[in-house]
Amino acid sequence: MAPEGGVIKTAGVEMTEFTGTAKVFDREEYAFEAVSKGEIDEGDVVVIRYEGPKGGPGMREMLSTTAALVGQGLGKKVAMVTDGRFSGGTRGFMIGHVAPEAFVGGPIALVKDGDKISIKLEDNSLNLHVSEEELSKRKEQWRRPAPNYSTGALAKFASLVGSAANGAITKPAEY
């Protein structure tokens, strides 16, 4: 699910593996709203995508949703996966910086509600349990969403920034 990698904060995390059912959100605000409404259950893997360097743009911090999960008593009962980022104050089984990000068609863009996802710290794995055939179909059907900004500094940033796997740094424009 993250062929170029991801980041997990292991300090203070008691779990070493987690398998659950995906609940997918295309913006952090949608995930936060679902947590607030009690729509996230024990055993879910909350997937927040299109928050990466290009999709956000800028890798917004997912602190609101992680704090809401902890506040709902779900901090040790769910996992979260995102192409966005977390703060140092984040608690729980959370993987961020997933690359390649959804906006460029990374595997996180292909996850659907109900998919099984497993995370194992021992072998540094994050797996989406969907057949290669099904993933190929999803990839064919996937369409990049419209960017959040089409003009201004954030649009320029999104067009120049690279993968989180390479530091989400900007590259010179090509003319």
Task: Give the model confidence (pLDDT) of 101-147 as tens digits.
Answer: 999 999 999 999 999 999 999 999 999 999 999 999 999 999 999 99
Report whether pLDDT(173) > 70.
Answer: no
Choosing among 3.40.50.300, 3.20.20.80, 3.50.30.80, 3.40.50.1100, the CATH entry for 5-166 is 3.50.30.80
pLDDT in tens, 57-111: 999 899 899 999 999 999 899 999 999 998 777 777 899 999 999 999 999 999 9
pLDDT in tens, 26-37: 999 999 999 999
Among this protein's residues, is 125 annotated catalytic?
no
Q: Model pTM greater than 0.85?
A: yes
Query: Domain locations in the chain?
Result: 5-166
Q: Please give the pLDDT value at position 15.
A: 86
Q: Please give the pLDDT value at position 14.
A: 80
| Catalytic residue selected from 36, 87, 150, 163 | 87
Q: Please give the pLDDT value at position 39.
A: 98
DSSP-assigned letters across all residues of the chain = --TTEEEE--TT---SEEEEEEEEESSHHHHHHHHHTT---TTEEEEE-S-STTTTTS--B-HHHHHHHHHTT-TTT-EEEESSB--TT--SEEEEEEES-GGGT-GGGG--TT-EEEEETTTTEEEE---HHHHHHHHHH--PPPPS-SSSHHHHHHHHB--GGGTS-B-PPP-
